[in-house]
Amino acid sequence: MRNKGFTLVEILVVLVIIAVMLSMAVLSINVAGRDSQLHEESRRIVGLLDLLHDRALLEGRDFGLLVEPRAYEFLVYDNFRDRWQPFDTQREFRRRELPKGLSLRLELDARQVVLKAPPSELAADAAPPTPQIAIAASGEGTPFRLTLVRDATGATSVVSGDAFGKTKLERPKAPARAS
């Protein structure tokens, strides 16, 4: 005579399947309210700006950050040519496109800056645009507030810098919920 019911192995298999499905659901809907791409890109900008600040002090050179709506680029001031040049000799300071769905907003002196994409074709001898954010050889910098925005949800993450070249990542803000 066979008992009706489930074996321990059957119950464990079902529990594992449910756990896997729940973890996939949590990751896909982001229950924690954290946008990992947004947070990662913000941390990258803070790290690169801190590294560039240290480099400016050590090398006695002026650096800058050129911000576009969906990209950013580091520049170095060339004293011999008397103009800003792309600082792409180092892999970490290359031009960076934001992941799809992210955009940038920039405030200088509590005023919103209109960000424009650079012309697609620059003449060979043309200088790149002047950076909005400067990091001087003395360690001083342009006070700024750079906001990364998730276009679909409105979630933001803010990177700010002061006149002493100190950058910080402000706590990410989830989008306001409609009631």
* β partners of residue 111: 108
Euclidean distance between CA atoms 93 and 149, whole angstroms: 22
**What domains appear along the chain, each with residue ranges and CATH number?**
36-169 (3.55.40.10)
Euclidean distance between CA atoms 40 and 42, whole angstroms: 5
pLDDT at 71: 92
pLDDT at 103: 92
- Phi and psi of 80, rounded to 5°? -70, -40
Euclidean distance between CA atoms 88 and 153, whole angstroms: 33
CA angle 35, 143, 115 (to 5 degrees): 60
pLDDT at 23: 86
Euclidean distance between CA atoms 31 and 78, whole angstroms: 48
Euclidean distance between CA atoms 148 and 97, whole angstroms: 12
pLDDT tens for the chain, 179 residues: list them: 567 778 889 899 999 999 999 888 777 665 455 578 888 899 999 999 999 999 999 999 999 999 999 999 999 998 888 889 888 766 888 889 998 989 999 999 889 988 887 776 666 666 678 899 999 999 899 999 999 998 888 888 999 999 998 899 987 555 555 54
Classify burial at 71, counting beta carbons within 10 Å of its beta carbon; exposed 0-12, middle 13-18, buried 19 or more: middle
pLDDT at 30: 54
